[in-house]
Structure 1
Amino acid sequence: MYWYAMKSHDIRHNLATEQYLMNNKKFDEPLVLFYYEGPCIIVGRNQNTLEEINQKYVEEHNITVTRRLSGGGAVYQDLGNLCFSFVVDSDSEEFGDFKSFVQPVVDALHAMGATTAEVSGRNDILVDGKKFSGNAMYSHSGKTFSHGTLMLDVDQDVIAHALNVPEDKMKSKGIKSVRSRVTNLKPYLAPEYQNLTVPEFRDTLLKELFQVKDLKAIADKEVTINDDEKVAIDEIYNNWDWVYGNSPEFTVKKRQHFTAGTIDARLLVEGGKIKNLKFYGDFFGPADATELADKLTGVRYDREHVGAILDSVDTQQYFNGIPTAEVLDLLVD
């Protein structure tokens, strides 16, 4: 087995590296990857990004949002989480057989004291009945990767805010995430492992997986990436179309009563952009709100781009007595 511990803490770069190694490198043995990153949300291949995230909270807290190639639900990660990924020939494992992929990790965690860790359900790893790891899988060109999370010491308070979207605000054909009761792994490890940093935790897992006492013993199994490969990796993931543009078509209903009247906005969003917008309500204004709706059609459905349009017009002409900032909050929050 080969291994690679990523140096980057940017989820986009790490997922791009995973994809590149899977599609462009040939290995005569399985490959295991480890990576960890700053605050981020990763949505599944078939999900509607905007339906899964609290966009205002995400933007205010500088949380990176990206999409992965594999299916499954949205997950929040920070520097207290360790990701692992196994890359194998597609014919060596049955697609969807998560247990065979993650069992070596579970065995290593048992050796570190988390003896109640177990594979459960479709793609989770639990400890004492609580989820600390979700896993997903993807196959392409004769290769399969199965990657998962290990919540060692994640800030769980952020999860509830960053992934909290009221169900009645949005309807789409995207695959919804199922929220589970989650926990950090740290308290379940043996005392001598509870103060490990994430890189120390990673290295301990590597040694358990390879059954060695020092990583120097497996230095010849470490993968290297040259400068040309780094350039190719950088070009893969960091683009808006992949994260938002691939989202399924969805509809949004936003209604709010203001002192100066009620605005009821109905939006159809496709490819991450406003395809259709209608304003209803008992608001007043000397101009027809349809004009504003037309200006917003074709615009990216996010705070930055919708806000730019609203700032470029006199919204009092459409919604007299209602501040522009509050119209923006209504449309995109």
Structure 2
Amino acid sequence: MLLLDSPSHNAYFNIATEEYLLTRFPTEDLFLLYVNAPSIIVGKFQNTLAEVNLDYVKENEIKVVRRMSGGGAVYHDLGNLNFSFHTLLTDQDFGDFSQFTKPVLNLLNRLGVPAVLKGRNDLLVEDKKFSGNAKLAKKGKMIQHGTILLNSEMEILAEALKTNPLKFIDKATKSNRARVTNLINYLPKETTTEDLKKLLTEEIIQNNPGAERYVLTVDDLNAIQHLVEEKYSTWDWNFGFSPNYNFQKAIKVPAGFIEVHLDVHKGLIEKAKIFGDFFAPEPIEKLEEMLIGQKHENDNLKALFSKIDLTSFFGKVTPDEVLEGFK
């Protein structure tokens, strides 16, 4: 087994690293640890816009990254340690998460933390979740990765993942907003993610005597960065990959009531209907046609609205007021 510790706190880089390692080490067992700066990591099959508080995320410069595995959205920051096991795909039960959560539980139990695996893929302490785990199979290998909330900023976690569930109607996987807790409440207050890294690495070495440390080379780093630029930092992957969905929202502006209905496919607006009690000289169908083919993304729509005289459709409104109806 090879042991890797990511040199980066960039979520784009670390999620890209997981994919890169599938090709770089097609047969070897790996154990990867990484810590991300504030970011939201969404499951592969999720509708990103339905999972994040987009205004809050942008205001606080929180990265949003889609991972390769399914499951729900999670918040990462410097108080959260992420672990990732890579192994050959065998005939073992793909739905069994116990094998690769066991080292985490064994370590925590020895430290006096009453942690358990409960349900399908969550690690809990006193019925509160501190770790979510997900799996994927690709290129003959299986990855199981998970989080360990040590001292994460819970208020930011709650705000970043907050959204209005009535705005979106889709078939994507919705995240389970379980009660969560930090392990710092059960460990010595001075414990850091670096401490956990060291302890967990020692646990893995004890269980795998032949384990060796591997440091990413310059070629590795360049290849990962290329994957970041081509995929993991792009709107097409992180937002456009979202499943088809219907968006609905109603707002009140000085000009009246506006209700927006959108059909969105791969992040692009395919159909738009706008209703309301506003008065304006131009037919609203004209604006609806302008929306077809546009990205359902705030900056893109803001740029579009800045070029249009929206008062001709809604009366006395500003682009920012109308944009609220599309968020």
TM-score in terms of structure 1 length: 0.92
Match of 2:68 in 1: 69
2:180 to 182, 195, 203: 182
SS in 2 for 1:134: strand
Query: In the alignment, does 2:247 pair up with 1:252?
Result: yes
In structure 2, the residue matched to 1:223 is 214
Matching residue of 2:140: 142
Instruction: Determine if contact 2:251/2:324 at 8 Å carries over to the other structure.
Output: no
Whole-Å separation in 1 of the counterparts to 2:60 and 2:153? 13
- Distance in 2 of aligned mates of 1:38 and 1:86: 21
Query: For residue 158 of structure 1, what is the aligned residue in structure 2?
Result: 156
User: How many angstroms apart in 2 are the aligned matches of 1:2 and 1:317?
Assistant: 63
Residue 21 of structure 2 aligns with which residue? Answer: 21
C-alpha contact (below 8 Å) 1:105/1:209 kept by paired residues: no
TM-align CA RMSD: 1.7
2:90 is matched by which residue type in structure 1? D
> Deviation at 1:93?
4.1
**Equivalent residues of 1:80, 1:155 under 8 A apart:** yes
- Give per-residue Cα distances to partners, 1:147-170, cap 9 Å, x unaligned: 000000011111221111111111
**Which residue among 281, 304, 307 is the counterpart of 2:276?**
281
Which of 305, 320, 327 is matched with 1:325 structurally? 320
Q: 1:127 aligns with which of 125, 128, 141?
A: 125
- Distance (whole Å) between structure 2 residues aligned to residue 235 and residue 128 of structure 1: 43
CA 1:155–1:306: 2 relative to 1, 3 Å: same
- Structure 2: give runs of 5+ residues left out of the alignment: none
For 1:184 and 1:93, locate their aligned partners in 2 and report how far apart those are by CA, in whole Å. Answer: 32
| In structure 2, distance between residues paired with 1:247 and 1:72 | 14
Q: What is the CA deviation profile of residues 95-128 of structure 1, one whole-angstrom value per residue up to 9, with x for unaligned ones?
A: 12101111011101122221x1011100000011
Q: Are positions 1:118 and 2:116 aligned together?
A: yes
Per-residue CA distance 1:218-274 (angstroms, 9 max, x = gap): 8x7111322222222112222221111111111111112333211111111111111
Residue 270, structure 1, aligned to residue 265, structure 2: yes
Task: Indicate the residue corresponding to 2:40 in structure 1.
Answer: 41
The corresponding residue for 2:293 is 298
Question: How far apart are residue 285 of structure 1 and its match?
Answer: 1.2
Contact 2:27 2:88 in 1 (8 A): no
Structure 2 CA distance for partners of 1:303 and 1:106, relative to 1, 3 Å: same
1:310 maps to which of 292, 296, 305: 305
Q: Is the 8 A contact 1:34 1:84 kept in 2?
A: yes
The letter for the 2-side match of 1:48 is N
How far apart, CA to CA, are the structure 2 residues paired with 1:26 and 1:241?
27
- Corresponding pairs, count: 322
CA contact (8 A) 1:125 1:132 kept: yes
Tell me if structure 2 keeps the 8 A contact 1:134–1:148. yes
**Which whole-Å CA distance do the structure 1 matches of 2:142 and 2:122 have between them?**
18
Matched residue type, 1:250: Y
Supply the distance in 2 between the matched residues of 1:128 and 1:268 (Cα, whole angstroms).
42
Report the secondary structure of 2:166's partner residue. Answer: helix
8 Å contact kept, 1:23–1:143: no
How many angstroms does 1:282 deviate by?
A: 1.2
Q: Identify the residue that residue 5 of structure 2 maps to in structure 1.
A: 5
1:22 Cα deviation after fit: 2.1
Deviates more, 1:162-171 or 1:77-86: 162-171
Are the counterparts in 2 of residues 265 and 331 from structure 1 also a CA contact under 8 Å?
yes
Q: 1:204 offset after TM fit, Å?
A: 2.0
Q: Which runs of 5+ in 1 are unaligned?
A: none
AA aligned opposite 1:106: L
Alignment partner of 1:232 out of 223, 229, 243? 223
**TM-score for the superposition, normalised by structure 2:** 0.94
- Alignment of 1:51 with 2:50, yes or no, is yes
